[in-house]
């Protein structure tokens, strides 16, 4: 099993007290493979603590990410909630998924609490 980690293409701004559903699009880094399961969603940097859900793969059909339709089994979605007392600044959440062929892929999703 190989592990590859890539950065998300965007940095999302999120304000204190907000909650958003984040879509981590793995498609281009899968090289024809598909996602099977979300192994973990973990905050890996930042001076405060974000609340994160465990995540799910888009198995029910394509989803739109930034106005682009992404194929089934290529996106991991999870919810990020920022408490009112969380420090302003940069944060990284790492999403790790297992692929249909048994590989492990990770993506560093970048946030900025404003």
Mind listing the pLDDT tens digit for each residue in 39-51?
Answer: 999 999 999 999 9
Tell me what pLDDT residue 5 has.
54
- Mean pLDDT lowest for which of 5-9, 35-39, 78-82, 96-100? 5-9
Give the pLDDT confidence score for residue 6 in this predicted structure: 61
What mean pLDDT is predicted for residues 65-79? 91
| Confidence (pTM) | 0.88
Strands 3-14 and 104-113: what pairing?
Answer: parallel
User: Nearest-CA neighbor of 65 among 54, 51, 76, 53?
Assistant: 76
Q: Rounded mean pLDDT of 95-104?
A: 96
Q: Three-state SS string across 13-35, please? A: EECCCCEEEEEEECHHHHCCCCE
């Amino acid at each position: 099993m190989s592990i590859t980690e890539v950065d998300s293409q965007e940095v999302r701004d999120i304000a204190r007290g907000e909650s958003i559903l984040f879509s981590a699009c793995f498609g281009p880094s899968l090289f024809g493979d598909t996602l099977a399961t979300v192994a973990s969603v973990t905050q890996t940097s930042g001076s405060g603590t974000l609340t994160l859900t465990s995540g799910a793969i888009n198995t029910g059909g394509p989803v739109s990410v930034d106005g682009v339709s992404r194929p089934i089994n290529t996106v991991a979605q999870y919810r990020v909630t920022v408490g009112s007392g969380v420090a302003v600044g940069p944060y990284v959440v790492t999403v790790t998924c297992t692929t249909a062929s048994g590989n492990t892929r990770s993506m560093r999703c970048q946030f900025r609490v404003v």
